[in-house]
Amino acid sequence: MSPVDLVNDLQKLVLSTYSGEIADPFKLYKAKHNISDLCLALLRSIQGPEEYTAILAGKIKIYGVT
């Protein structure tokens, strides 16, 4: 997917999630995780795989996750 497609999907999902269209708590929970996944996909598509991996490695080092 291109960054433009990802942004369009993200915009639609955020709008439907926070406009009150989703009343079921489980569906809201899933929608928020989908938003997170789309944000990561957007970052990965813009930064490229090497830079994205470096960003994740930096976060792992900061939070002490091994």
Tens digit of pLDDT at every position of the chain (66 positions): 899 999 999 999 999 999 988 889 999 999 999 999 999 899 889 888 788 777 777 777 666 655
Question: Domain-by-domain residue ranges, the chain?
Answer: 3-63
First to last CA, the chain: 31
Letter for the amino acid at 57?
Answer: A
CA atoms within 13 A on the CB side of 56: 12
pTM of the entire predicted model: 0.73
Please say whether the beta carbons of 43 and 58 come within 8 A. no
